Structure 1
């Protein structure tokens, strides 16, 4: 008959396999694993839901709100503006300053949010300097991971490491406990990425991309292959459509075409004097009433447009008509976007954002005209059209999308930058309270999150809740009971004894290296948080059985879980830059594995020096 320990390992193996399948959400996998442990009687009800009251879970949730305050207040954007000012036209300055800036920001706020803020800025700078974006985006993603290892709050595994040591009776880690080793890793990483990594990623500038400093709508439309699907038609005074609204025509359902813009000539007091009419261009609303001599820019297949012209008396205009630059944007989906695995129709994209999707590009595929029933996938990028105000509102939703290219002007959201000083003060006081240990870390972070809302740095309470990445919160809360089940059934002891028997004879450094290697392997394919939760108890018990300090073992697992470079699915920043940099899976392998090995050597050498056995 199967023992309780064997049953736990069966559930763990199935859970790990499910984590590896992209189709399954990590949080749902963790919830089902929790249910399996509870229903099989391996843990009690209290143990099953203890994770939701764990201080780490509360801190992680509150840190998302703090980070949202930093983003919405404009404080993070100011850091991006600093990047633009300091780099000039030097590739060396751009690369080094970008890597340092990303790392520093990631040490205090979400690395995913940091990359979302800086991604379009770096792409724009690459266009100005005639560099292929792929040369810098993988280094940026890697720097965000290395930066997360600089402080206690930089990444969830660091917080879990501190809590695990505290729960085991060894005391919590200080705020800057990770910093000396983290800085050595960061310096090594920057040198490697400058002298080696960027050369591996050195790609020729595409003929149609990156050659101009100014945003080029014509170039973007051509990249997405919709140039030949934009037509201009005119409504003559004799047309039966004059006086009708756009909604009444039902063009999308009848002809599968979309009206995007109208060009019309209006008379003003000045134009009446000089005898010339003023041209006005605007995006189309369903309620727009067609007037004589209006010129419409429509999107559709040529045969459908010709049929429309034949049936309605509209006249087809000669020559290529260009869409207004401020009405276009290229958008990529974040790895944890709520739009993933849904169709354009299901998310009501037009109604929700006020934007029209013109074309869609799946990963490793050519762009094509979108289909409302087509599912949005991980790594997709889309070309959208609409008012510049709506484009900027979409750009504010950093959890779901990142505006990669746009000529849209600043909206009223820019006025929130006056809150940046307030957000900076709140963040500074929070860090000071944690460093000087005035209050427990969880109290400092929760209070900071509340003040971000009360001072308006996070504009609405609903936005504070929306900013929390519940997938991460649920994942941690549901995986903590897995560690409890392993401890209760002797699974942690089994793993620890196996590690000691295989490597213990060589010495504690060999065991530390083994733990680092195991953690590194798992973190390439499954969540670094889940990996850390499972292996911290093993690290602590292994150290206790060997009669050495658990601190170096725990630190090795913490660093290793954060340093995941070899696959695009290892971290959200890796996944986020994949579409923007037009990378292949092999690009991450070629650049990431040597860096993975270098960082491992640094960790194995320095951790025992800073945290003696």
Structure 2
């Protein structure tokens, strides 16, 4: 093994550790991979940077734009009112219809924003039909994964594997190359959930009232500022309420006027009545240190009091790619940025009420917050972008359906698919053309175009492509492929396809699916070359396995998104996903050679 191969192997091991532990964000890890391989001389600077101009990267970037435009029309949310009555009459039929619908949409639209938009829809359906969200959200995530396997543009992983194949001198994948195995998995997966999976889904009834779910009532009270209080004349941000005790002022009543979520520079006056959120110890500290009068009857406030005024109580789920991950609310300037006050945080399956601004947030955490009503709509619009930090778990702020724009976007997506399918233009060019049509038709503007692209995924793809080049240049792909051929060659190519599927699937459970595909795809191509067989069955196995992550909530980003919203535990995913992983592995072993041939 040469020095270059050793360097690449070390980089891979370190990368797997970093991906699995999430000590660093996945896009940063990918860029560090590219820099390490370039600086060590394993790949040239041109090869390292080529990932940014690769057709796969360009295609994924502009598919994000098409996805955003479709979601902006509000069309997908219209399915909610139709599904609710179906679930109420027949849960089994509702699950089947929902999974097939989400699967079909996910075949042509990026599944992350689809799941983000449908989480509150499915929670609402659960309330209407009396079904626990835990019975609905894992099927939602799985259906989006099934659908993403069906077309080239269904998920960024498919485009990445096609890009690696093209860079190796192979023909790029056609739009529906993966459709035979993808549609089979969509149907089999939906049937599995229909007959068996639903029995394994937990039934955890959650409190419909967020104030009960987060137990915030004991942490809300009112104080009246007396005339000789040290508060008089102070700005909220300068008072010990904010500086020392970190108490949030939610509302100020003054001479019949109501000021909700007052800004930090709001000046306190004698006679003001402040509604505050705090814990019992801080209430005691206020009594001991300050001249204030407590409204003890407000220590327990009812649901109507929480909702009154021009504010609303929302639950915000931290997404897997959120800029809030690894940071606290103070660092993100949460109150000033969103004009919102955190009331509680559901963190690592525990409700936190104290020192909320100091809690280090993870993907899947839920922030219960009181927010200005006019910010709800902007949050819902922000939620549609790929880089949205939150999923808004609320029935409020539903985006209005725009029929004209929906027809325009649907026509553009159909045109992109048709142009690419008939090889009129390369997929990268057709997606750019589609995005430009949307801008020229004023369906979206250029600011929305830039904002809709998930740059984290773009950087991840660029870094992952450089890893594939390094494996080829260093000879590491050739060495690993030789092991496959030597150890499994006697069992035939079907055994090698099965082994590659299994390894990719297991890697995806602990690291990024794109990284897993980038790692194994060059090995698949080299193995096929050594066996003098078609590389496509091997690449299809890698591509499908990289998306088939069902056993853990961290293997695929949509699983992470539904993890807390459905009040799941880690074992829930393992219990239902283990058998699905095994079923898909067996099916892939025999169907991929049958559909694609060697």
TM-score norm. by structure 2 comes to 0.90
Q: Contact between 2:363 and 2:561, CA under 8 Å: does it hold in 1?
A: no
Aligned to 1:494: 479
CA distance in 2, matches of 1:39, 1:255: 50
CA distance in 2, matches of 1:485, 1:289: 61
Task: Find 1:428's aligned residue among 414, 434, 439.
Answer: 414
Aligned to 1:585: 570
User: 1:168 deviation in Å?
Assistant: 4.0
Moved more, 69-78 or 162-171: 162-171
Secondary structure of 2:525 counterpart: helix
Task: Find 2:295's aligned residue among 316, 324, 348.
Answer: 316
Secondary structure of 2:185 counterpart: helix
1:452 maps onto 2:438 in alignment = yes
1:13 maps onto 2:27 in alignment = no
Q: Contact between 1:134 and 1:202, CA under 8 Å: does it hold in 2?
A: yes
Task: Find 2:499's aligned residue among 496, 501, 514.
Answer: 514
Alignment of 1:162-201 (within 5 A): 162-201=162-201
Secondary structure of 1:397 counterpart: helix
Task: Find 1:542's aligned residue among 527, 538, 544.
Answer: 527
User: 1:232 deviation in Å?
Assistant: 3.3
CA distance in 2, matches of 1:493, 1:324: 64
CA distance in 2, matches of 1:480, 1:561: 15
Secondary structure of 1:202 counterpart: coil
Aligned to 2:48: 48
Over 3 Å counting, the alpha-carbon distance change for 1:265 and 1:424 in structure 2 is farther
> What does the per-residue CA deviation read over 1:201-252, in whole Å, with 9 as the maximum and x for residues that have no partner?
232425xx25xxxxxxxx3112212211112345799999899876676632
Aligned to 2:110: 110
CA distance in 2, matches of 1:448, 1:360: 41
Moved more, 146-155 or 226-235: 226-235
Over 3 Å counting, the alpha-carbon distance change for 1:332 and 1:46 in structure 2 is same
Aligned to 2:276: 298
> What does the per-residue CA deviation read over 1:535-570, in whole Å, with 9 as the maximum and x for residues that have no partner?
222212222221222221111111111111111111
Alignment of 1:266-285 (within 5 A): 283-285=260-262
> What does the per-residue CA deviation read over 1:394-416, in whole Å, with 9 as the maximum and x for residues that have no partner?
23322334445436455xx6476
Over 3 Å counting, the alpha-carbon distance change for 1:244 and 1:10 in structure 2 is closer
CA distance in 1, matches of 2:13, 2:232: 67
User: 1:73 deviation in Å?
Assistant: 2.6
- Where structure 2 has 5 or more consecutive residues not aligned to the other structure, the ranges are none
Aligned to 2:587: 602
CA distance in 2, matches of 1:240, 1:456: 55
Moved more, 238-247 or 256-265: 238-247
Moved more, 448-457 or 65-74: 448-457
CA distance in 2, matches of 1:367, 1:203: 24
CA distance in 2, matches of 1:89, 1:11: 54
CA distance in 2, matches of 1:245, 1:49: 51
Secondary structure of 2:344 counterpart: strand
User: 1:162 deviation in Å?
Assistant: 2.8
Q: Contact between 1:235 and 1:295, CA under 8 Å: does it hold in 2?
A: yes
Over 3 Å counting, the alpha-carbon distance change for 1:132 and 1:307 in structure 2 is same
Over 3 Å counting, the alpha-carbon distance change for 1:546 and 1:222 in structure 2 is same
- Where structure 1 has 5 or more consecutive residues not aligned to the other structure, the ranges are 211-218, 267-279
Q: Contact between 2:225 and 2:269, CA under 8 Å: does it hold in 1?
A: yes
Aligned to 2:489: 504
Aligned to 1:259: 249
Q: CA RMSD in A?
A: 2.9
Aligned to 2:144: 144
Alignment of 1:92-491 (within 5 A): 92-206=92-206, 209-210=207-208, 219-233=209-223, 251-253=241-243, 256-262=246-252, 283-286=260-263, 296-302=274-280, 304-305=282-283, 311-312=290-291, 314=293, 316=295, 318=297, 320-322=300-302, 323-325=305-307, 327-398=312-383, 399-406=387-394, 408-409=396-397, 414=400, 419-458=405-444, 460-491=445-476
Aligned to 1:215: none
Q: Contact between 1:229 and 1:301, CA under 8 Å: does it hold in 2?
A: yes
TM-score norm. by structure 1 comes to 0.88
Alignment of 1:543-558 (within 5 A): 543-558=528-543
Over 3 Å counting, the alpha-carbon distance change for 1:152 and 1:230 in structure 2 is same
Over 3 Å counting, the alpha-carbon distance change for 1:365 and 1:255 in structure 2 is closer
User: 1:190 deviation in Å?
Assistant: 0.9
CA distance in 1, matches of 2:230, 2:458: 58
CA distance in 1, matches of 2:585, 2:40: 39
Q: Contact between 2:164 and 2:468, CA under 8 Å: does it hold in 1?
A: no
User: 1:264 deviation in Å?
Assistant: 7.5
Over 3 Å counting, the alpha-carbon distance change for 1:174 and 1:290 in structure 2 is same
CA distance in 2, matches of 1:92, 1:285: 48
User: 1:601 deviation in Å?
Assistant: 1.7
CA distance in 2, matches of 1:39, 1:201: 49
Q: Contact between 2:27 and 2:456, CA under 8 Å: does it hold in 1?
A: yes
